[in-house]
Structure 1
């Protein structure tokens, strides 16, 4: 099940932190590292900090957007130090970890998403995550090095995976990230075409709808039903146009 977890670093600025993250993952038995727009990679500093985990750096996948990095994922968890306005459900890492082994049975894959060192995940990046998790720290000094954060998450996840579970794959597989993004794009076009959503003044309607469907953990068959309803309600848009 370790192969079913993807660790995604968004816009890491320091190559040493990439190396430290690779080392942290390898010590806990994980090997899937994804980098979104790294400032410096590959880089000798990353290899130096990897300290024997060079193979993870060689296999690391580099993407140009978080959306690309999450393709095929059925659950994405954003790691953040603070709750945001209109954020998705947020749990402590220890509360969340025991539930994750269940997610990777069958066709499930989970992404743990980390933000850039200085500011963490942006609101747009958090919108692409279905759950939020935080690592409890001292209230007066909550800053964690990126490599340290990856190490803590990998440790808690390894502990959860090694517990005795009576796990059973979901009867109906959850929708993937890309299936949900196509649905959101289709929904936004229909709401705009029908006059409910004003593209000049959209407010936070789509953010609220994303939060709603993230809580629902929509299944693959349900996405097909929802898109069928959209096609019936607004035949002018058949849902086949590319994502915006």
Structure 2
């Protein structure tokens, strides 16, 4: 069983959403975090082409969305209801942040419970009556001088905190390098030595400390095959440039008259 399977116990409830674009954007936010159950309480406009456009390929979430006529209907079967609020309210429930509450919600889901994440309208949020139907309150910490969050942004933050508790592994995004083999590195070092001799940087009669130092330099760096190919391309271009470069004539005072 996947670590994220318990996310199937979560539903996002959007109450009286006035702009269909926010429904689409919320669906996109949900799907990126592995939550696909969407409930809509009396949306002003739905279905909507605007919602589909902003869902950005989260059409399956929109297609499966359940439209209901009341908050009570949206919460049927849930054991924990989390009201998102940005206002001070004279209510009994303590106010938590998404990060503080996420472990409790995941434990509830793993134990067989159903969790509703409840969001209100864009302008005024949830009503007092809607909040009273929930048994948890959550708020997103923001700049106290400017705490305006778009509805879909709030959905994204809360669902992200849930998902990141389950998995913060991003190794699947890392490029898997193809490292150069020993023989390819040796061929490069031979090519490098030959080039340095040709352009006069490596003096055959001088103490041979340069190549051992260069060898250590490249051995400290685990070269990828593409990097070896690039370096050898630079060496070939260096020799080509040296071969075709026009060498300026020496001034007469500098010419060798010893013959």
The residue aligned with 1:188 is: none
The structure with higher relative contact order (CA 8 Å, sep 6+) is 1
Extract unaligned runs of 5+ from structure 1.
164-244
The residue aligned with 1:205 is: none
Instruction: Report the Cα offset of residue 109 of structure 1.
Output: 0.6
1:33 aligns to what SS in structure 2?
A: strand
- 2:160 aligned with 1:146, yes or no? no
- For residues 145 and 111 of structure 2, the distance between their equivalents in structure 1, rounded to whole angstroms, comes to 42
2:14 aligns to what SS in structure 1?
A: strand
- 2:28 aligned with 1:23, yes or no? yes
Match of 2:7 among 2, 6, 11: 2
**Larger of the two Rg values belongs to structure:** 2
1:111 aligns to what SS in structure 2?
A: strand
Question: Any residues of structure 2 matched to 1:191-206 within 5 Å, and which?
Answer: none
Cα deviations across residues 158-192 of structure 1 (Å, max 9, x unaligned)?
Answer: 012338xxxxxxxxxxxxxxxxxxxxxxxxxxxxx
- For residues 78 and 97 of structure 1, the distance between their equivalents in structure 2, rounded to whole angstroms, comes to 13
TM (normalized to structure 2)?
A: 0.61
- For residues 88 and 160 of structure 2, the distance between their equivalents in structure 1, rounded to whole angstroms, comes to 23
Instruction: Report the Cα offset of residue 87 of structure 1.
Output: 4.4
Is the CA contact 1:83–1:90 (under 8 Å) kept in the aligned structure 2? no
Question: Any residues of structure 2 matched to 1:19-98 within 5 Å, and which?
Answer: 19-98=24-103
- Coordinate RMSD, CA, aligned: 1.1
- 2:102 aligned with 1:101, yes or no? no
Instruction: Report the Cα offset of residue 136 of structure 1.
Output: 0.3
Cα deviations across residues 46-78 of structure 1 (Å, max 9, x unaligned)?
Answer: 000001001100000111001000000000000
Instruction: Report the Cα offset of residue 107 of structure 1.
Output: 2.8
Dislocated runs of 4+, deviation >4 Å: none
* Paired residue total: 163
The residue aligned with 2:160 is: 155
Cα deviations across residues 8-57 of structure 1 (Å, max 9, x unaligned)?
Answer: 00110000000000001111111001100000000000000001001100
- For residues 120 and 92 of structure 2, the distance between their equivalents in structure 1, rounded to whole angstroms, comes to 15
- 2:8 aligned with 1:11, yes or no? no
Extract unaligned runs of 5+ from structure 2.
1-5, 169-259
The residue aligned with 2:250 is: none
Is the CA contact 1:25–1:151 (under 8 Å) kept in the aligned structure 2? yes
1:124 aligns to what SS in structure 2?
A: helix
